[in-house]
Structure 1
């Protein structure tokens, strides 16, 4: 979680984000800021170090954007490039301590689902332009062979930039969060709504990858945490519709090259979009993992 992101979120975030000492993706605000200020070469060095080694060095960072990112490849992910690790941010609800609390939606009955629009507890439905997310997991160490049987947990903000379980007004909701297992083709598909754009961040979707569905629903052994970026043209079309509040204005105030997560390269994280704001969009991304 970056300084700029935390300062510009449309709701307060606790400054004391604790973390699992073995989790390179949740080392806190200070560490995130330190890492984002480093060169790409420094971040490459971090890839080979564990948390124990980092504690004794000046390289300790939240790894919100560690690692060199591919600067080439088509939108929708560079097929044989490992997707960079990113911060889970302050609202993951994955059992880790974030925003001063340890929320865990992954153990809730019904969280394994393809349609994320309805709250499991209240039945409330998140409004917004329909969006289908299609993520394909591939093994970069095996000629991009599909990774079957893995699980993906995705979450993102509402049309007006709020996060269920955390943001004022939607604390009692758990929509726009869910888990699916990949099929033989390595693909998971979710039905959701196009996320809004809040001040300081480019429109994005968070996701975590687990080796099995059982490990995902137990919130254990995740193998990657990253974020998907949405193309500008689709964002502007979605934000011209009702319900997106200040999203269009917020989008105009940032860019992918200035975003604190995507600014050091986003080729492997930029989804390919099809469709339109009237009928809905489909966002497709190939997620490369070194397995």
Structure 2
């Protein structure tokens, strides 16, 4: 799929998917799909609560949440379901865009000391800036679909990055070019979970609000130029975006959101159900966005 990302001048360009996409595609084709629908009849995984929320994972690529959650289908037990279904298969392979910061297009955040961290709001190394915005926790759960049964994937590493509330990407873009905030790597725990503390990204011209991420076999692979298992993107529900963008600092996002839609977005237009995060929270206390990542 071709992605169109903005430049620091606001101009929209079409970008080649590049080596990262090719590696992910080749890896995926080597894995036979095992008839994922119905595969989880005997699999039950306890829901893991985090960051004080009552959310539970019980969905496809869009985990469900407890009461008040938005972005996912109803949970099996009215918000407390423990069943895990990954019935729609692997999370889609997407472009990393022009600002990956993984060494494939210029700067390499993955080589920075301190890049393995859960709080990505501030820069590491010689940079010292902190991104301002509405607090957001990103929670991912990684699954392995390559065996006879669907299993969580402990030890996998996920590199996440996104723009700041002004729509700029650190290491590349405008006043954020000298920073490396809003980028970080975490390893999955024994239950496949990992999370980041960050700020809600802005909406820039031409794209639906999103977070980029790459999945690696291990932290060593992620920080040592190893091959990726998957590159994809997380989307946010429209109603949550509107609530966030009503706060100070997100003024440009209000207008930009009015000019885009999920159905017309160059990444999510062909389907976004597996990439739509389940979101709970509020502007005052922060939001929690949760996504299943089956690969």
Normalising by structure 1, we get a TM-score of 0.76
For residues 253 and 95 of structure 2, the distance between their equivalents in structure 1, rounded to whole angstroms, comes to 22
Residue 164 and residue 13 in structure 1: after superposition, are their counterparts in 2 closer, same or farther (change >3 A)? farther
**Residue in 2 that maps onto 1:177:** 183
For residues 181 and 139 of structure 1, the distance between their equivalents in structure 2, rounded to whole angstroms, comes to 15
> Is there any run of 5+ residues in structure 1 with no aligned partner, and where?
27-43, 50-69
**Residue in 2 that maps onto 1:111:** 115
For residues 183 and 131 of structure 1, the distance between their equivalents in structure 2, rounded to whole angstroms, comes to 20
Residue 16 and residue 233 in structure 1: after superposition, are their counterparts in 2 closer, same or farther (change >3 A)? closer
Are the equivalent residues in 2 in contact too, given 1:132–1:192 (CA < 8 A)?
A: yes
Give 1:193's match in structure 2, choosing from 192, 199, 202.
199
2:197 counterpart SS class: strand
**Residue in 2 that maps onto 1:206:** 212
Give 1:168's match in structure 2, choosing from 169, 174, 177.
174
Structure 1 position 171, deviation (Å): 1.1
Matches within 5 A, 1:57-76: 75-76=71-72
**Residue in 1 that maps onto 2:249:** 243
2:22 counterpart SS class: coil
Q: How many residues of Structure 1 are paired with residues of Structure 2 in the alignment?
A: 244
For residues 217 and 199 of structure 2, the distance between their equivalents in structure 1, rounded to whole angstroms, comes to 26
For residues 189 and 72 of structure 1, the distance between their equivalents in structure 2, rounded to whole angstroms, comes to 16
2:175 counterpart SS class: coil
Matches within 5 A, 1:121-132: 121-132=126-137
**Residue in 2 that maps onto 1:96:** 104
Are the equivalent residues in 2 in contact too, given 1:271–1:284 (CA < 8 A)?
A: yes
Residues 24-70 of structure 1 show CA distances to partners (whole Å, capped at 9, x for unaligned) of 279xxxxxxxxxxxxxxxxx9xx759xxxxxxxxxxxxxxxxxxxx9
**Residue in 2 that maps onto 1:233:** 239
For residues 234 and 25 of structure 1, the distance between their equivalents in structure 2, rounded to whole angstroms, comes to 34
Are the equivalent residues in 2 in contact too, given 1:9–1:198 (CA < 8 A)?
A: no
Normalising by structure 2, we get a TM-score of 0.75
Structure 1 position 277, deviation (Å): 1.2
For residues 109 and 11 of structure 2, the distance between their equivalents in structure 1, rounded to whole angstroms, comes to 21
For residues 242 and 72 of structure 1, the distance between their equivalents in structure 2, rounded to whole angstroms, comes to 29
For residues 265 and 23 of structure 1, the distance between their equivalents in structure 2, rounded to whole angstroms, comes to 18
> Is there any run of 5+ residues in structure 2 with no aligned partner, and where?
31-59, 65-70, 74-84
